[in-house]
Chain A
Amino acid sequence: GAVVSQHPSRVICKSGTSVKIECRSLDFQATTMFWYRQFPKQSLMLMATSNEGSKATYEQGVEKDKFLINHASLTLSTLTVTSAHPEDSSFYICSADGTGGGNEQFFGPGTRLTVL
């Protein structure tokens, strides 16, 4: 149980385009999902907390107009990188809050974004 999928796994796009990444909880309902960005040889940095039916909460320094988050259902959250630039190239990972009574995180497999 507690499987999280993420699509696409890899995307290459031109500078200025927008890219949408989907995060789905396959066998449980996730009220809360988290979006992280990870640069090479660095830790996971939380970008935003996505709550079903409400606006996402962004961490300091993360532009909410650039990284649009939608959590329209209890099993799906999307992250759209708008007007992507090469510096947005990174590994984006989502996680969902577990339902086991604790705060276990269940991670998606990640999306490697490369902006040319």
Chain B
Amino acid sequence: GENVEQHPSTLSVQEGDSAVIKCTYSDSASNYFPWYKQELGKRPQLIIDIRSNVGEKKDQRIAVTLNKTAKHFSLHITETQPEDSAVYFCAPLPPSGGSYIPTFGRGTSLIVHP
């Protein structure tokens, strides 16, 4: 199965700084790379995703970059705000159409200090 590692486990930044979280995976067949944000007691919420045919995707303050050769992808948050404080998870997946087992990274607790 997929081996997913996520770093760092905790990230503390000042409001306005940038934050970067990295996810490393093992299955070279993975082609869907999402990032989820989970606030305490709530469901994971997809915030951005990328497929293997592109190397970068941006949505306002959030971006994801993908390095398929090195098998890692990263979440970038610029101009962080206190409401960005949450736990972030990556969960790379293989192509659809076959059976698969979703595997989540251990999560990164992002704390944005006002």
Chain B contact residues, majority secondary structure: loop
Question: B49 contacts A104, CB within 8 Å?
Answer: yes
What is the CA–CA distance of A85 and B97 in the complex, to the nearest angstrom?
38
A26 CB to nearest B CB, Å: 14
A43-B105, A46-B103 known; A103-B93 Cβ under 8 A:
yes
Chain A contributes a number of interface residues (CB within 8 A of B) equal to 23
Cβ-Cβ contact count across A and B, 8 Å cutoff = 55
A28 interface hit (Cβ, 8 Å): no
A-side contacts of B94, CB under 8 Å: 103
A102 at the B interface (CB under 8 A): yes
CA distance A109 to B42 in the complex (A): 6
User: Could you say which of A34, A45, A107, A108 has the most chain B C-beta atoms within 10 Å of its C-beta?
Assistant: A107
Contact indicator per residue, chain A 81-116, by CB within 8 Å of chain B (1) or not (0) = 000000000010101010001111101111010000
Question: Is B101 an interface position by the 8 A CB rule?
Answer: yes
Q: Judge whether A104 and B46 touch: CB under 8 Å.
A: yes
In chain B, positions 55-114 with a C-beta closer than 8 Å to chain A are: 89, 91, 93-96, 99-107, 109
Q: Which residues of chain B are within 8 angstroms of A42 by Cβ–Cβ distance?
A: 106-107
A49 x B101 contact (CB < 8 A): yes
Give Cα A108–Cα B43 distance, bound, in whole angstroms.
Answer: 7
Q: In whole Å, how far is A62's beta carbon from the nearest beta carbon of chain B? A: 13
Asked whether, in the complex, the Cβ of A110 is within 8 Å of the Cβ of B102, the reply is no
